[in-house]
Chain A
Amino acid sequence: MISTDPWVWVSALMTICSFSLLYGENPLFRFGEYTYTAIVVAHSVVTGISTLQSRFAPLISGAKPLLIIPLILGLMSIFVVWRRYAWIASFPIAIMIGVGTGLSMRALIATEILSNIAAVIREAGLILVGPPVNSLGYLIRVVFTISGLFYLLFTVGHKGPLNKPLSYLREIGKYAFLSYLGLSVGNAIMQHSGLATSAISRLLGQWLGL
Chain B
Amino acid sequence: MKIPELSSRTIWAVVMIVYIVTCTIPIGASFEMSDITIEIYEFIDDLPEGSVVFIGGSAVFAFDLESSASLIACLKQMERKNLRIVCAPFGVEAVQFHKYCIDASGVMESRGGTWVYGVDYVQLPYMPGGAAAYVALMDDIHTAVATDVAGTPLNDLPLMQEVLNHEDIDAWICPHWAFDMIVRYVVAERDIPGIYFAQAAAYANYVPYMMAYPGMVWMTNGFLGGAQYEKLEGVPGLGTAVVDSYAIMSVVYVGFIILGNITMYQNRDEEEEIIQ
A residues apposed to B, CB below 8 Å: 19, 22-24, 43-44, 47-48, 50-51, 54, 57-58, 99-100, 103-104, 107-108, 110-111, 115-116, 118-119, 123, 141, 180, 183-184, 187-191, 193-198, 200-201, 204-205, 210
Contacts and interface: CB of A to CB of B under 8 A. Distances in A.
B66 A187 contact: no
Output the residue of B212, B224, B246 with the most chain A CB within 10 A. Answer: B212
A63 to B, nearest CB: 9
B259 to A, nearest CB: 17
Given A22-B12, A107-B188, A197-B242, A204 B20 contact: yes
Nearest to B9: A23
B238 A198 contact: yes
Interface in B135-152: 135, 146-147, 151
B97 interface: no
28 contacts: A19-B16, A24-B9, A43-B93, A47-B126, A50-B125, A51-B126, A57-B146, A58-B146, A99-B132, A100-B130, A107-B131, A107-B188, A110-B188, A111-B212, A116-B208, A116-B211, A116-B212, A180-B204, A187-B204, A190-B201, A197-B19, A197-B22, A197-B23, A198-B65, A198-B238, A200-B20, A200-B23, A201-B238
B117 interface: no
A59 B166 CA distance: 26
A191 B12 contact: no
Contacts of B131: 100, 103-104, 107
Contacts of A201: 23, 238, 241
A57 B24 CA distance: 52
Interface residues of B, number: 57
Contacts of B213: 115
A191 B222 contact: yes
B267 to A, nearest CB: 23
